[in-house]
Structure 1
Amino acid sequence: MRLIHVSDIHVGATSEAILDAAHQAIKAHPGAALVVSGDLTQRGSRDEFRRARDWVDAVKLPTIVVPGNHDTPLLHPGHRVFKPFDRYRDYFGDLTRPLNAGAARLLPLNTARGWQSRANWAEGSVALDELDEMISEGADSGAVPIMVCHHPFTPFSGAGLTTRTRRGDVASERLARSPVRLLMTGHVHTPHIERIAPGSGEYIALSAGTLSLRLRASPPGFNIVDIDADGLSVAPYTYNHETFEPLPTARLDWTEASDPG
């Protein structure tokens, strides 16, 4: 089963050339579903959301989307505090729901916030009751449960951005003890895969790059993820002037203790 994993499109801070090239590369490697792990827009404007939805729809795959911190209205502080995701829901609410894709059950979790009582409002935050609800739904589905959110629960080794997700350590421990085997995220703007083992249990954390011009340690890119009974293979595709080209594929197997089958 193949998933196309994109993140951090940042419509308003990208180029049509990058988005068109990504469309061409995705259509050349069709998958069972498109996974978009947040930051579809740059400033959370309605025009940016409309253009982002047009891009997602043009992929023509079953799609799951979660919001990122940039998907709140940047220029409207009141809206950002009191109704941060109204615009997002207007354009993507129908795609923010559990989705069956082949043998997998994709589970959305919102880790973005419009405002927080700390200096960096862009950092993630996990609502543990919502996490538990998604874990329970995945466990009851009879499929391989995969969680999708914007922020990694814990910092990645060597990523271009150090994350400080509120309640991330607790969330990571709960996920590791659950049937969920894969966490698909964005935010760091670099492709990364890592096995996370916080005490008992483990899961695989996977981040996609960005389809924007807001670069950190990597050029624009996205992931092609192939999942089988033994584990997953990830091919990061990166933008090289006009086209997306694959980097070497990374492979991680499920361990016997965490075999989703």
Structure 2
Amino acid sequence: MRIVQLADLHFGAENPRAMDAAAAQIADLEPDVIVVSGDMTQRGKHDEFEAARNWIDALDRPTLIVPGNHDTPLLNLVSRASSPFQRHHGYFEDHSAPQCVGDIRIDGLNTARGWQVRSNWAEGSVRLAHLVDILDEDAGDDTIRMLACHHPFRSPRDAPLRTRTRRGAAASELLAASPVSVLLTGHVHTPHAELITEATGSYLAITAGTLSTRLRSAPAAFNSLDISDGALRVNTHDFDGTDFQPRRLGTWSANEPRRQF
């Protein structure tokens, strides 16, 4: 079983060479499912969404897409306040349902907001009731469960961008106590995999890099997750200007991420 995790494509500020090379590499990887952890666009414009949709369609794989803070209409303040994700849903609603492939189930959670009463509206926010509804889904004891959203619940240890997700600590504790063992996020533009341990339990938090020109401390990148023989192997694929080179982030037990190989 193979999952490709993308995030922060930022169409409108995308890196065309990286996007073309990523499409070719993903075709070679032949993933069973693709997860995009938010920020399909840069300003939430129709032409950016159209370009993003065309690129996703060309990959021709089962795909789960969750919104990011950049997927709201940046310059339309009325829409940002009243219906911030109308455009995103219009283009990607058919990619919003949980993906169930083999013994894997991946759910999506929207942590982005069009507007918030704080200085940095781009920060994430978790509706705990919505999260609990997802975590309470009965997927079967043998199912490996994952959750995709845009904002990390806890700020990734090595990322230069520190995050302050509203109700993130409570969400992290709920997730750690749940049957969901993996959280797939973006936002920080830095590939990273880290075991998050709470008093309630633990889970594996995996962040994907960006395929845009909006780089921070890492090159353009995307992740691949391979699950076989009870092991979850996580690679990031770093763009060297021409091709993507794999780099191991770690190997964990697929159902019990507390155990690292």
Asked if these proteins are the same fold (TM beyond 0.5), I'd say yes
Q: 3-state DSSP class of the match of 1:197?
A: strand
Q: Distance in 1 between matches of 2:211 and 2:257?
A: 35
Q: Distance in 2 between matches of 1:91 and 1:146?
A: 24
Structure 1 segments, 4+ long, off by >4 Å, are: 138-142, 254-259
Instruction: Report whether the alignment pairs 1:201 with 2:201.
Output: yes
Equivalent residue number for residue 36 of structure 1: 36
| Mapping 1:1-261, distance limit 5 Å | 1-137=1-137, 139=139, 143-228=143-228, 230-253=230-253
TM-superposed CA distance for 1:32, in Å, is 0.7
Q: Distance in 1 between matches of 2:213 and 2:27?
A: 22
Q: 3-state DSSP class of the match of 1:190?
A: coil
Q: 3-state DSSP class of the match of 2:136?
A: helix
| Identity in percent | 47
RMSD over aligned CA atoms reads: 1.6
Given that 2:252 and 2:258 are in contact with CA atoms closer than 8 Å, whether structure 1 keeps it comes out as no
TM-superposed CA distance for 1:44, in Å, is 0.2
TM-superposed CA distance for 1:186, in Å, is 0.3
Over 3 Å counting, the alpha-carbon distance change for 1:22 and 1:151 in structure 2 is same
Count of equivalent residues:
259
Q: Distance in 1 between matches of 2:42 and 2:9?
A: 8
Runs of at least 5 residues in structure 2 that lack an aligned partner in the other structure: none
TM-superposed CA distance for 1:16, in Å, is 2.0
Over 3 Å counting, the alpha-carbon distance change for 1:257 and 1:77 in structure 2 is closer
The alignment's TM-score, normalised by the length of structure 1, stands at 0.95
Q: Distance in 1 between matches of 2:89 and 2:186?
A: 19
Q: 3-state DSSP class of the match of 2:151?
A: coil
Q: 3-state DSSP class of the match of 1:247?
A: strand
Q: 3-state DSSP class of the match of 1:237?
A: strand
**Alignment-mate amino acid for residue 90 of structure 2:** D
Given that 1:138 and 1:179 are in contact with CA atoms closer than 8 Å, whether structure 2 keeps it comes out as no
Q: 3-state DSSP class of the match of 2:90?
A: helix
